[in-house]
Amino acid sequence: MSKEKEIADSGTASGEKGKNSVVREILSWVEVIAIAVVLAVFIDNVIIINATVPSGSMEKTIMTHSRVLGTRFAYWGDRKPQRGDIVVFQYPIDDAMGKNTHYIKRVIGLPGETVELKEGVIYVDGTKIDEPYINGTWTVESDGFTFQVPEGHYLMLGDNRNNSNDARYWPTVALQEGLASTKEEALSYAYVPEKKILGKAYFCYFPFNRMGSLYKNK
């Protein structure tokens, strides 16, 4: 073999090695990115809840356009939602209509309890409950409601009772949407099944001046 041929062959081999090295480098980055994406999707869908709150229904606890973090595993196993927990759940009306709309409210009534609304005060099984988180004086739809919370369900209300689309209104919406034909039937839409609770919210991280625990006033 001539010296010129040896040099050519050597150059070709070096070029192929260079190309292979570049391909391996690209593949390694693709692998890293793919793992990162899968991990991010897993964390977002299995571990944490990252929610933006578009309305003022939870003010003064969560202000409009705030962003909050929570965990999806808060109620795994034997752990159950407790009164005062702030939870993210599937909105019963939209859920019945095949839509995936998430709401964030506070747990007020537990399974099997009787919840009464009387002149801006909540009574659970005849006992008044303290609500330091309420936003101002509660005057709108604050009287004349009695809820018998079914087993396996929860009653949710917003902290801003004068401006919150919550359990007080959902039965009426169910009638308007044709999901129920009677008031008694519609009342079932006031409650959120445990299996439709996605997780518990803990922390506000935006805006920065509101950063902190959601349970300061619990």
Q: Say what the alpha-carbon torsion angle 181, 120, 125, 166 is, to the nearest 10 degrees.
A: 40
Give the largest Cα separation in the chain, rounded. Answer: 103
Retrieve residue 29's tokens: 């980055």
Set 66, 105, 164, 200: catalytic member? 105
User: Would you give the DSSP letter of residue 196?
Assistant: G
Strand partners, 69: 50, 203
What is the DSSP secondary-structure string of 164-175?
--STTTHHHHHH
Backbone angles phi, psi at 131, to 5 degrees: -130, 80
How far is the C-alpha of 194 from the C-alpha of 95, rounded, in Å? 13
Residue 130's SS3 state is coil
How far is the C-alpha of 49 from the C-alpha of 76, rounded, in Å? 14
Is residue 105 annotated as part of the catalytic site, yes or no?
yes
Set 5, 10, 21, 57: catalytic member? 57
Is residue 57 annotated as part of the catalytic site, yes or no?
yes
What is the DSSP secondary-structure string of 73-126?
STTSTT----TT-EEEEE-HHHHHTT---EEEEEEEE-TT-EEEEETTEEEETT
Known catalytic residues? 57, 105
